[in-house]
Chain A
């Protein structure tokens, strides 16, 4: 177990190094000059060159990357080109909001997805089943920007049940978490449905029924714990999918997370922020996958880590 963990952590570190290198290369070859973004329109050529020199952007690529890595191993993500604030501080101030939103979204998609999946499996082949699966198909394919605005318009503007965007209370959290959750629930309901159908066919369920157990006992006590196994493994992978969706959802709802930070930084070519957010996201995905792999043997003894 310990060697497994050590090996996985080492691989994770290499992945992060690779991500940092590739992102750095991409930002370096980008035909857009961060110095021009800082200098603005009125800057003279002398001002532009001065800023380039001050930021060390006149140095060759390898030296720039080396400097970045040297800072990184000391935990220094650098300062934003435009805001002049420490990138670590900017990310730290926004990370709690993003983590909260992700957690709430995972809860939302599990509750929605599992419930729909179980119902569909039990009512297999009926109109209800087909309607639920069709709805799941639509929510998976619907653009999040549209879903977000739709929820906002109906539940916040028209019905007034929730605030129109913002951050702070539980009421603020509901709509953004639902927007992200609805997307994931489509996947989960499909997976839950097929997994449940498979389990319901299994011998032990037949045995349970034959024992004379009630329907609820059979479904919730025997079928669900077995059917849910493949779903748990998916949650870790989900974090990666969320990272993409979060940029859009945070923008629409004015949610002060790192997605919004990344989006603004990309538009202004603020390289230290883009690098910082990319690395933090990569770290989250790597850790998410690792966690899913570590948890798997705990819930299913058939899985062995080596």
Chain B
């Protein structure tokens, strides 16, 4: 295999699909029409370098494009603004060939200069991008600033060459992430900090109206580079709408999609009504809810205690508490994530076994501890269930119910012995197993202020993770996922977390909306893929 590789050309062409139409839309799809979606919270910004909210994530995807993209409704990568790409044999140089004739909403043609400008901008500290860290593998990242990234080179107006400092198997996902989306330099410079309110991109829709605190109107980009997309002529996002009110308006025919989903308090009522239940769309989500245990402090420094906690929690009962809107979790990765270990059952619910482990660890009579939890429903109720389960094996956990920001603070500082992650739990930024490790289970996240609330750091696993992420070759993809599976099995062995459930998303659509269900629970274009849904009449 090695000899074969060496004998091929210097550049390895790994994937060259020249069309982005490798997605067959619903043959019944009709063009035209409009729809209304609601959100409770305001849209903060539509600047792709900054936006990182539930509301704006897929709006930004509709306004802008990246070099890479995903097949709608799936986690499969496909080329976006890049027509094709080549990866050098050592995995360090990515050469993207841009699609010709792609225009920004202002009519100017997008070129390689714009790609470079966008990557320079997102990594420039002055931009304050929350996503800057995703680009750390690009050469020159450490010195990023006014001068731009030395690793991003414009070869010609249609070609961009990106040099990495280490092979990074997730790099193509990073090039599909909102933070990497291409923006036009002249508009960004003219608008300054207001670019987020007056976005101009290459996307399927353009923003035509934004009344602060009320509504945003998106209109079809007739010049969009994917022929026939989008289907809708326009869509309106109304903000400041309580989920309960949004549901009432949906029942009244005024709203097509409640962007925040079905409110928990109304869930049973909706499911009990066949007419409404029929319009409910269910989908998996790249999410895991877990209990973290701070491994640096007794008694959770003992692996037996952490395993005992895993065995003491009755996950089925907790799933019942949230009306079955989740599936019990056996491991950190959610089932829809590549690299998930099929057939691994995790720690089974076993009170006697847990008690035995407690005795083995030297705590036959248990101990007292604290369980931190975010104070919005249903999290305190879930924490109470966990509290009862722990009491059965002698652990007396007092519940600290706090505002989200305060729990995150305590988790980062390492002052919380246990945290129930609900409301703050990990949802993947991109569909790759590595995204569930580094920040929340790896040594890098265990530092002060990091999101690894267990403060768990297993250097052998970290090394394995680095090894997996250096396997950039598509031919090694299977082997790479197997290695990631190993990493997560190693995590379960050490048990810094007790994985509890993987949330399922339940949303609704009005009767007049068409399009595959997967578009309404798109794992990447969260919460809705606006580009591909359509209206029936």
Contact = CB atoms under 8 A, between A and B. Distances in A.
A253 B426 CA distance: 31
Sort chain A's interface into a size bin.
35 or more
A261 interface: yes
A60 interface: no
Contact of B242 (A36, A167, A251): A251
A269 B406 CA distance: 10
Contacts of A55: 128
A211 interface: no
A45 B132 CA distance: 11
Nearest to B440: A41
A17 interface: no
A94 B412 CA distance: 35
Contacts, number: 137
A257 B131 CA distance: 31
Interface string B136-169: 1000000000000000000000000000000000
Interface in B231-262: 238, 240-242, 244-245, 248-249, 251-252, 254
A40 B211 CA distance: 26
A164 B249 CA distance: 6
Interface string A223-265: 0000000000000000000000000001111111100110010
A241 to B, nearest CB: 22
B134 interface: yes
Contact of A254 (B44, B241, B404, B406): B241
Interface string A96-117: 0100000000000000000000
A153 B131 CA distance: 42
A23 interface: no
A44 interface: yes
B136 A36 contact: no
Contacts of B83: none
A42 B404 contact: no
B408 interface: yes
A203 interface: no
Contact of A41 (B128, B214, B240, B439): B439
B279 to A, nearest CB: 18
A261 B451 CA distance: 28
A14 B213 CA distance: 32
A163 to B, nearest CB: 8
Interface string A12-36: 0000000000000000001111001
Given A41-B451, A47-B132, A164-B245, A83 B44 contact: yes
A46 B412 contact: no
B196 interface: yes
Sort chain B's interface into a size bin.
35 or more
B450 interface: yes
B133 A42 contact: yes
B449 interface: yes
Contacts of B408: 32-33, 36
Contact of B248 (A36, A84, A164): A164
Interface in B408-457: 408-410, 412, 426, 429, 439, 444, 447, 449-451
Most interface-central of B50, B213, B252, B439 (chain A CB within 10 A): B213
Contacts of B451: 41
A46 B447 CA distance: 12
B130 interface: yes
Given A36-B412, A165-B241, A251-B242, A84 B134 contact: no
Contact of A83 (B45, B214, B444): B45
Contacts of A38: 128, 130
A218 interface: no
B461 to A, nearest CB: 19
Contact of B126 (A54, A157, A254): A54
Given A50-B128, A79-B193, A43 B240 contact: no
26 contacts: A33-B409, A36-B409, A36-B449, A37-B405, A38-B130, A41-B451, A43-B131, A47-B129, A48-B449, A83-B45, A83-B196, A85-B197, A93-B213, A97-B213, A157-B252, A164-B252, A165-B241, A165-B249, A167-B214, A254-B241, A254-B245, A257-B213, A260-B42, A261-B42, A261-B213, A264-B41
Instruction: State the 8 A-B residue pairs at the shortest beta-carbon distance, nearest first.
Output: A32-B405, A256-B213, A44-B133, A93-B212, A40-B130, A50-B125, A254-B240, A254-B241
Interface of A: 30-33, 36-48, 50-51, 53-55, 79-80, 82-85, 89-90, 93-94, 97, 149, 152-153, 156-157, 164-167, 250-257, 260-261, 264, 267, 269
Given A43-B132, A254-B241, 5 more contacts: A84-B193, A93-B211, A94-B213, A164-B245, A256-B214
